[in-house]
Amino acid sequence: MRMRKKPNLGPRMEACDRVWVRDPAALKGHWKALMPAAKEIRLEIGCGKGKFTVETAKAEPDVLLIALEKVPDAMVMAMEYAMREHLSNVFFIDADATVLPDLFAEGEVDLIYLNFCDPWPRNKTAKLRLTYRTFLDKYATVLCDGGQIHFKTDNRPLFDFSLDEFRRCNLEVRNVTNDLHRDGIVGIMTGYEERFHSLGTPINRCECIVHKDTYKRSEERMERIRMTTPLVEIDGDEMTRILWKSIKEQLILPFVDLKVDYYDLGLPKRDETGDQITHDCAEAIKKYGVGVKCATITPNAQRMTEYNLHEMWKSPNGTIRAALDGTVFRAPILVDGISPAVRNWKAPITIARHAYGDVYRGTEVRATAGGKAELVFTDKDGNESRQTIYDFECDGVVTGQYNKDSSIASFARSCFQYALDTKQDLWFSTKDTIAKKYDGTFKEIFQTIYDNEYKEKFKAAGLTYFYTLIDDAVARVIRSEGGLIWACKNYDGDVMSDMVSTAFGSLAMMTSVLVSPDGKYEYEAAHGTVTRHYYQYLEGKETSTNPMATIFAWTGALSKRGELDGNEALQTFAAKLEKACIDTIEGGTMTKDLAALWEKDKAHVVTSDGFLAAVRTRLERSL
């Protein structure tokens, strides 16, 4: 039923501040602080105008009653009713059942009332019913062992459906009736119930008891998708490691019979193995073809001390990229409701980053005053060529870096082919006016391969390739509408991918895949380990860390694994999980970083766990 917009809704809500819990997540595990002497905590889902809520609270003053209602226009009327009755044992939350585990601790609730919920009569919307198995999972989580669900409805098909769901979950069902008030009014009625009863409509009611040791969760009743070939799973560090585990447990393992070849690239393990484990996981990707990687720490001097490392190990990403000789393609994850900071960007900009060599495989030394740095090259016959880099009149630093024609050629071919596959123009940029030989080699190899192998293909596809200087490319990209691939050298791609992702919304809203010339794939999040949030987590604080990039690393890897193995079910699952993530954000539920960018109605900011729970709810509906 559509309710009329209540006049002065905001001020009326504010006037009910005493019974309105604005930040329910903050009370998770501590709801009895509202009423320490309460003998029970009861929850009503969908309180409407509050008749049942208030009358129940009046009848049982030693019970703490929490009422959820997602329609503020109805909830304000319920709160005003409670305020008029001067009740101190009833409180209200503007939320719905999908977020219950984010608001209540496991086993914190004694009884849940479900009164006259929407029947969602069409079969394809059955998963929206509040008695559907995935909602029952949430109730079973927050209810104590032996906790109860009391369910009433005038809709007989919904009641029969619900009884079946209750029994499939191994709930103990009792006191079932299809005409509750046949011999006289029983218990407290809702407003709807009074109306139905006056019309002679029979009311269905039952009670369910949750026994924790026998309850069957939805994932236990669902056949998981099977895999034939393992993924290479590469674990990481800090907050992303925490998210990694949660994503697997909440969004992957309940639905996929996951086969992995596991490598722990957390910094302590890399130090313990002398970084051998990084090389081992790269070889595993070569063997199995697809890997998925968590963000990892690249140590600096401060990390050396913090982790008591034996050595300042190189970037694990750099090591894996060198082993695979691949190209990193990064593109933003777009959602309706968050516009790019660059107003004229209308379509994604994909960064193609050469993932080999340059500063990431460089060698560096400290120079002392009076010394001379030279560049020495010895050919295969032992002949030396020597150039002075600098005569140091004071202390300084020197670095040496390299690249290979074969790797540059692989990079070029990957970019041209990816442009054809995705039907996007390709831009390439370096600084060959300064680094005439180094960057000039990149430019020449790209142009030669384009002219000899791809020019006619691009022409037939209506696509454009052009080269320009890196500073000019930056200006052109900012003025463009997007919808292009921007190929960059290793360091340029590292920096520009962060710039592009942030301008599109958030660094955590970026996909990243490393593609080798022989068709090996490594998917990862394009951001770091979120150190600040990790320290908050260690202090026992809940964080609102955006898991999108890490989820999309998993979906990318699962989809590619499915594609290579001919596993359509795995590909479909990955696509549905991505859609569930995007739909969750577009529905207004998001982590804190996105809320500041949100342009629609007020964002519902949740913790990382709350976001994963909301995504799972949508995912379960789609499966």
Residues at the binding site for substrate are: 154, 190-193
- Residue 612 near residue 250, CB atoms below 8 Å: yes
- Looking at the DSSP bridge assignments, the partners of residue 115 are 152
Per-residue b/e over 208-235, b at no fewer than 16 CB within 10 Å? bebeeeebebbeeeeeebebeebbbbbb
Beta-carbon count within 10 A of 322 CB = 19
Q: Tell me how far CA of residue 577 lies from CA of 253, 436, 548, 572, in angstroms.
A: 13, 47, 11, 9
In the three-class reduction of DSSP (H, G, I as helix; E, B as strand; rest coil), residue 449 is classed as helix
Task: Quote the DSSP letter at residue 333.
Answer: -
Strands 521-525 and 290-293: parallel
Helix then strand count (H, E) for the chain reads 22, 25
- Report the C-alpha gap between 403 and 408 in whole angstroms: 7
Annotated binding-site residues read 44, 69, 96, 118, 154, 190-193
Collect all residues with Cβ–Cβ distance below 8 Å to 9 and sequence separation of at least 6. Answer: 72, 73, 76
The helix-helix angle for 133-142 and 156-168 (nearest 10°) equals 60
Sign, CA torsion 338/342/343/347: negative
- Residue 321 near residue 404, CB atoms below 8 Å: no
Q: How many CA atoms lie within 13 A of 147 on its CB side?
A: 25
Q: Tell me how far CA of residue 318 lies from CA of 255, 269, 295, 359, 362, in angstroms.
A: 33, 17, 13, 10, 11
Backbone angles phi, psi at 566, to 5 degrees: 70, 30
- Report the C-alpha gap between 269 and 313 in whole angstroms: 12
Task: Quote the DSSP letter at residue 173.
Answer: E
- Looking at the DSSP bridge assignments, the partners of residue 292 are 233, 523
Collect all residues with Cβ–Cβ distance below 8 Å to 480 and sequence separation of at least 6. Answer: 344, 345, 349
Pick from 355, 286, 311: nearest CA to 512:
355
In the three-class reduction of DSSP (H, G, I as helix; E, B as strand; rest coil), residue 595 is classed as helix
- Residue type for 298, please? T
- Report the C-alpha gap between 365 and 387 in whole angstroms: 17
Annotated binding-site residues for S-adenosyl-L-methionine read 44, 69, 96, 118
- Residue type for 221, please? R
Exposed, middle or buried, 259 (CB in 10 Å: 0-12/13-18/19+)?
middle
With the CA atoms of 6, 8, 10 and 12 taken in that order, what torsion angle do they form, in degrees rounded to the nearest 10? Answer: -90
Backbone angles phi, psi at 171, to 5 degrees: -75, 145
Collect all residues with Cβ–Cβ distance below 8 Å to 532 and sequence separation of at least 6. Answer: none
- Residue type for 72, please? P
Strands 465-469 and 425-430: parallel
